[in-house]
Homo-oligomer: A and B are copies of this chain.
């Protein structure tokens, strides 16, 4: 077993340097795509504004929603008229240097993504910040527990990549310690703590300052995922 876990459980703050582990000699690095605020990234950023603005407006305003629907449908029609086939797009979107631009957590091309941008650190951990708005609400004023799970599942996967391995999620356990606030900057951290044959163990946290809201433990299995038929 290769492990970069310390004797004490990882506190999620990434301030310990393990004696071994993959991150020891590597520099800090951006592990996820960064929006360049041009082209499709700017269009997706505007789509995020629309998602949020619809939620903030709600159904009881004087806004002409039928007109809004027409304008958005026209944009969708225009884009559909310029889209490659799904098959071609599925090849194209997975090409490149390995940093995806379309996933629902970090993707600058995915309006569902908050987005989160993750950076790898020399101690083997990864981290990034994001602020969740109305679209991610669970209880009044707080993030949806499933959204926290989404952020953590993805960040654990990126942490595996940073540790030089990768796998698909076999088991993910979330511990919700306190309600996670909306509209405040959150820090998501993750680290691969052990690799045991095909089993990869990874942990993560969502926190702000000294307050930890959610912790996660993931078991990932190194395997190839067959392309769908």
Which residues of A pack against B, CB within 8 Å? 38-47, 49-63, 65-66, 68-76, 78-80, 82-84, 86, 89-90, 92-94, 101-105, 109-112, 134-142, 144-147, 149-154, 157, 168-176, 179, 181-182, 225, 227-228
Contact = CB atoms under 8 A, between A and B. Distances in A.
Contacts of A146: 104-105, 146, 149-154
Contact of A83 (B61, B92, B181): B61
A61 B46 contact: no
Given A57-B79, A150-B150, A170-B176, A69 B89 contact: no
Given A90-B140, A102-B134, A171-B173, 9 more contacts: A38-B66, A39-B65, A43-B65, A51-B51, A55-B109, A68-B75, A71-B75, A149-B172, A149-B174
A61 B49 contact: no
A82 B63 contact: yes
A69 B46 contact: yes
B56 A144 contact: no
A89 B59 contact: no
Given A69-B46, A79-B56, A135-B112, A144 B153 contact: yes
> What's the number of copies of this chain in the assembled complex?
2
Contacts of A70: 46
A22 to B, nearest CB: 22
Contacts of A71: 46, 71, 74-75
A145 to B, nearest CB: 4
Contacts of A137: 102-104
A181 B228 contact: yes
A159 to B, nearest CB: 14
Residue among A59, A83, A110, A153 with max Cβ neighbours from chain B (10 Å): A59
24 contacts: A40-B65, A43-B65, A46-B70, A49-B73, A50-B72, A51-B51, A51-B110, A53-B80, A54-B79, A54-B111, A55-B93, A55-B109, A56-B79, A56-B84, A57-B79, A60-B92, A104-B135, A140-B225, A145-B169, A146-B153, A150-B150, A168-B179, A171-B173, A182-B228
